[in-house]
Amino acid sequence: MASTPRRSSLVAILAALLAAVLLPLSSLSAHGADTPLRALASADGRQIGVAVADNRLTGSTAYSSLVTGQFNSVTAENAMKWDAVEPSRGNLDWAAADRLVATARANGQVVRGHTLAWHSQVPGWITNGGFGATQLRTLLQQHIATEAGRYAGRIYAWDVVNEAFNDNGTRRSSIWQDNLGDGWIADALTWAHQADPAAKLYINDYSVEGVNAKSTALYNLVRSLKQQGVPIDGVGFQAHLVLGQVPADLTTNLQRFADLGVDVAVTELDVRMQTPSNATTLATQAEDYRKVVTACRAVARCVGVTVWGLDDADSWVPGVFSGYGAATLYDENLQAKPAWAAVAAAFGGSTAGPSPSTSASPSGSASPGSSPSSSPVPGGCTVAYRIGNQWTGGFTADVTVTNQGTTAIGPWQVGWQFAAGQQVTQGWSAVFTQSGATVTAANPSWAATLAPGASYGFGFNGSWGASNPVPTAFTLNGAVCTVV
Ligand code: XIL
């Protein structure tokens, strides 16, 4: 039967309606597969970081657009090490380090400072200088004061101390250990705190991912530093791993450190394999990356995961571990490897791979997706808002919300208004959205419930213009809180 004009116009209308419904859906799912890692990590209240090579940041647009598009945290692979910033005595060269910090801030990324006190990449004028213990102590103190002071307020966390232990748990011999004695670690942390009170101060090491003699020695040191009131905020687990060898007790180990009252972070993740790689080894590697991200997500105080080098052409691995390579998320041609999709999936993204040259707008501020259905706040709430540090144009703030009632609240959202045009540029431990002056900080998935009497802290970097007044009113799930 021939269709009547009426019926064909109905079909046309239905087809148009269907197209209207399907088009956004299909473009959404295409976008889903391409969602940048930084958006997924931000939505989880966590960092996904990358160690950046200065020569490639300046030399390759493809490289720099992946660095800014995919990651919400950066670490200088070499540019902040002592031999880079002071190659000869008093000759300070901040060009590369400044470049990284400026790029990061322009793209809403936090910076992990790496590293202030280490046995390696110490300039020759120190190692060959014939200095005595007193002079070395002064030189280290000045170095920390100068470098941490220069970037004060602009560094999320410093690896103040790097690689201080041997595998058997004894202190590793170094110019600092050998000349200054065991106390050099507490001193370095104290000096760093004086220079930049806002930065989270870390001790960082490798082969400490599982429970073993080395990680236990590190654990005992951190416990003792905390007991003595030494400023230590976090422990970095480098995680230079070998294919198929993610320690089974990684989560347990991260958690025991977190239980000491410090943050934990995976700071230098790579998974090396014998080269050339093949489909099987790349699949195993993807599984290893997934395990590491999943372990971090299982620990509330794990702030995130940094990968050591953007791509296989850029990785330190082949130069150091003969016959090994292919350790990063991108191949030599900057094509995402299966490990990229595994990291995305572990952060809750689509399991489909990315389109080859996946990059993103640098804003990276993830929205929590659907706004949680708010539960009421029966007994009231308090909010403390503290500006930790402020400099021209920027600031860091910490917010603590407390459930003063007798009923658990969750999911939860803290809201406030900025009065002077301030903008959240990068947050942590909560999922931030900002629309005009209105800011909402929603719970990350791993802290979805605020128990009765419980406090929860989160923070952010922000920008400001003429002034930076503290917000005067806060809400928790729409209920007004007392400001403390
Ligand atoms: C490495 C860099 O990747 C190399 O480019 C450099 O030649 C040597 O240092 N642990 C650390 C990092 O803390 O600083 C090291 O980085 C890798 C091991």
Report which protein residue has its CA nearest ligand 1's atom 9.
78
> Are 461 and 425 spatial neighbours (Cβ–Cβ below 8 Å)?
yes
For 449-483, write each residue's pLDDT tens digit.
Answer: 888 888 888 888 899 999 999 998 988 988 888 88
Mean pLDDT throughout 305-321? 97
Please say if the pLDDT value at position 18 is more than 60: no
Indicate whether 375 pLDDT > 80.
Answer: no
- How far away, in angstroms, is 416 Cα from ligand 1 center? 42
Short-list 347, 342, 271, 340, CA closest to 302: 347
Task: Quote the ligand 1 centre to 167 CA distance (angstroms).
Answer: 18
> 77, 147, 163, 209: which one is catalytic?
163
Give yes or no: 287 in active site.
Answer: no
**Is there a catalytic annotation at residue 86?**
no
Under the banding of pLDDT at 50, 70 and 90, the label for residue 351 is low
- Give the mean model confidence (pLDDT) for residues 116-122: 98
Q: What distance in angstroms lies between residue 361's CA and the mean position of ligand 1's atoms?
A: 29
Q: What is the pTM of this model?
A: 0.73
Q: Where does the pLDDT of residue 350 fall: very low under 50, low under 70, confident under 90, or very high at 90 and above?
A: low
Which atom in ligand 1 lies closest to the alpha carbon of residue 206?
10
Q: What pLDDT, on a 0 to 100 scale, did the predictor assign at position 396?
A: 87
Pocket of ligand 1 (CB under 6 A): 77-78, 162, 238, 268, 316
Q: Report which protein residue has its CA nearest ligand 1's atom 3.
A: 316
> Residue 101: which residues within 8 A CB-CB, separation 6 or more?
111, 151, 154, 155
The protein residue whose alpha carbon is closest to atom 12 in ligand 1 is 77
- Is the confidence at residue 446, as pLDDT, over 90? no
How high is the pLDDT of residue 407?
84
* φ, ψ of residue 83 in degrees (nearest 5): -65, -25
| Average pLDDT score, the chain | 88
Lowest mean pLDDT among 29-38, 407-416, 418-427: 29-38
To the nearest whole percent, how much of the chain has pLDDT over 90?
71
Distance 444 CA to ligand 1 centre (A): 32
Short-list 394, 421, 405, 388, CA closest to 455: 405
Expressed in angstroms and rounded, the spacing between residue 77 Cα and the centre of ligand 1 is 6
The whole-number pLDDT of residue 408 equals: 86
What local confidence, expressed as pLDDT, does residue 449 receive? 87
Residue nearest to atom 16 of ligand 1 (CA): 77
pLDDT of 460 reads: 87
- Residue 379 confidence (pLDDT): 64
Q: What is the pLDDT of residues 78-100, one digit of tens each?
A: 999 999 999 999 999 999 999 99
pLDDT band at 378 (very low <50, low <70, confident <90, very high): low
For ligand 1, what atom is nearest to the CA of residue 309?
A: 3
**Position in ligand 1 atom list of the atom nearest CA 316:** 3
Pick from 144-153, 274-283, 345-354, 419-428: least confident: 345-354
Find the helix packing angle between 133-150 and 184-195, rounded to 10°: 30
pLDDT digits (tens, 9 = 90+) for 129-181: 999 999 999 999 999 999 999 999 999 999 999 999 999 999 999 999 999 99
- Closest ligand 1 atom to residue 53 Cα is 5
Closest by CA position to 159, among listed 207, 98, 111, 103: 111
